[in-house]
């Protein structure tokens, strides 16, 4: 289909770019320690691994695993927690007391944190090394190994407790319209449902399972029962993006004004619609810019979000639209199929750009609708990023047109978010 050429204002000099303040120095430390070619340990791309990677490491790495198993304080805590779960079968009021038995209490978290902080060198070094190379704790990379592991544990425990609160008790998440529990917690049979989940997880778990397994698996079961396993959808992404990764490896970046075009998703409100109307317009603009040769690849970012529990994925459908309607070659498209919000559109795009070695010191371009573009460069978006993520995932630069905004990704975006189990 014919598209009129879209003209750009001349680029401003680099010194005049309107950049947001950069992330703290610790993000630069995290960038130096993280490795683009890092491959997660077994299970690292599952729902469990993407949410609780520290626990995946404690299971996969023999030295930390054995040290934890030998620790007398953790052995005692495991027995104490087992007793809590046993008495929860007869507790009242249900389901609150049942779910409460699974929580990591403040005392539990402190006990485990202290044990992990005193791991012997031969256990601490490989554990901290994996955490650093993965980038998943980039926010805390300036910490010494013991403190880094302790912080990773505190976030893991908070993540498990958050899942219990939202998907076991029905407490509202950040975005209840799209992320809330799937069941009516006011119905009388909900307590029986939670009791059944409680009994089932205990019954199918070996009695000698490590301390962390039962609470992790109960939290994961709640996600499973709520049809909320989005975190591992379409993994491994390297397979989905294999053709584009090949193109990137052959790219001469000096030929391109921008390293990538980032298209932000727009989920439809109608259950049977594959794309929202604004999303279609964004793709029209991005296709035109790609044909102008402004960037080698288009990143389409968006999860399975609108309406809640939709069977369509924004990134998958945007890729389909770019190929079938606009004639963009498949190897020029990177899908990012997990983001559920504008904040995580930029964060997740930064993660993929890091992994695929798209240069961070080369301007990239956000291509979106006028209203969203203004929002991304405004103070409300910045506030949301700082409140929800704890950092800015990108430096926002000059406005190029009503639809286009320059940005550069920041490596602090590699940090995992323990309070967003659908897209950590």
pLDDT digits (tens, 9 = 90+) for 298-349: 999 999 998 888 889 999 999 999 999 999 999 999 999 999 999 999 999 9
Rounded to an integer, what distance in angstroms lies between the CA atom of residue 384 and that of residue 414?
Answer: 18
What is the structure's pLDDT at 24?
A: 36
pLDDT in tens, 229-268: 999 999 999 999 999 999 999 999 999 999 999 999 988 8
Mean pLDDT of 41-69: 97
- pLDDT for the residue 30: 58
Looking at residue 17, its pLDDT comes to 25
pTM above 0.95, yes or no: no
φ, ψ of residue 422 to 5 degrees: the values are -80, -20
What band does 32 get if pLDDT is binned at 50, 70 and 90? low
Q: Which domains, from first to last, does the chain contain?
A: 14-29+235-414 (3.40.50.620), 47-231 (no CATH)
* pLDDT value of residue 271: 75
Write out pLDDT tens, residues 127-158.
Answer: 999 999 999 999 999 999 999 999 999 999 99
pLDDT in tens, 67-115: 999 999 999 999 999 999 999 988 999 999 999 999 999 999 999 999 9
pLDDT value for 31: 60
Predicted confidence (pLDDT) per residue in 198-239, tens digit: 999 999 999 999 999 999 999 999 999 999 999 999 999 999
Question: Which pLDDT does position 14 carry in this prediction?
Answer: 28
Determine the pLDDT at residue 268: 82
Determine the average pLDDT of the residues in 353-382: 97
């Amino acid at each position: 289909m014919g598209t009129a050429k879209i003209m750009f204002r001349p680029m401003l000099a680099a010194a005049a770019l309107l950049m947001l303040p950069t992330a703290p120095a610790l993000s630069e430390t995290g960038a130096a320690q993280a490795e683009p070619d890092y491959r997660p340990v077994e299970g690292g791309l599952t729902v469990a691994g993407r949410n609780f990677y520290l626990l995946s490491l404690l299971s996969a790495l023999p030295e930390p695993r054995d040290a934890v198993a030998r620790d007398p304080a953790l052995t005692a805590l495991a027995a104490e927690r087992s007793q809590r779960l046993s008495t929860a079968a007869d507790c009242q009021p249900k389901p609150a007391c049942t779910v409460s038995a699974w929580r990591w209490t403040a005392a539990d978290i402190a006990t485990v944190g202290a044990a992990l902080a005193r791991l012997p060198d031969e256990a601490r070094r490989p554990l901290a090394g994996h955490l650093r190379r993965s980038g998943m704790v980039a926010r805390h990379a300036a910490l010494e190994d013991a403190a880094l592991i302790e912080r990773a544990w505190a976030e893991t425990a908070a993540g498990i407790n958050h899942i219990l609160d939202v998907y076991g008790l029905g407490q509202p998440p950040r975005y209840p319209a799209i992320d809330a529990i799937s069941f009516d917690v006011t119905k009388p049979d909900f307590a029986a449902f939670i009791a059944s989940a409680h009994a089932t997880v205990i019954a199918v778990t070996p009695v000698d399972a490590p301390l962390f397994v039962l609470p992790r698996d109960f939290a994961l079961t709640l996600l499973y029962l709520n049809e909320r396993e989005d975190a591992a959808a379409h993994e491994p992404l390297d397979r989905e993006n294999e053709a584009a990764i090949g193109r990137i490896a052959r790219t001469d970046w000096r030929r391109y004004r921008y390293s990538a075009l980032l298209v932000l998703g727009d989920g439809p409100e109608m259950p049977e619609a594959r794309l929202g109307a604004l999303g279609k317009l964004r793709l029209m603009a991005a296709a035109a810019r790609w044909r102008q040769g402004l960037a080698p690849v288009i990143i389409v970012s968006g999860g399975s979000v609108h309406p809640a529990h939709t069977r369509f994925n924004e990134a998958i459908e945007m890729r389909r639209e770019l190929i079938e309607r606009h004639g963009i070659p498949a190897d020029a498209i990177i899908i990012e199929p997990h983001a559920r919000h504008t904040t995580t559109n930029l964060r997740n795009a930064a993660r993929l750009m890091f992994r695929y070695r798209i240069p961070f010191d080369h301007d990239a371009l956000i291509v979106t609708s006028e209203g969203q573009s203004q929002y991304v460069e405004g103070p409300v978006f910045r506030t949301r990023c700082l409140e929800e993520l704890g950092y800015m995932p990108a430096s926002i630069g000059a406005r190029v047109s009503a639809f286009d905004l320059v940005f550069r990704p920041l490596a602090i975006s590699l940090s995992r978010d323990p309070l967003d189990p659908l897209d950590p």
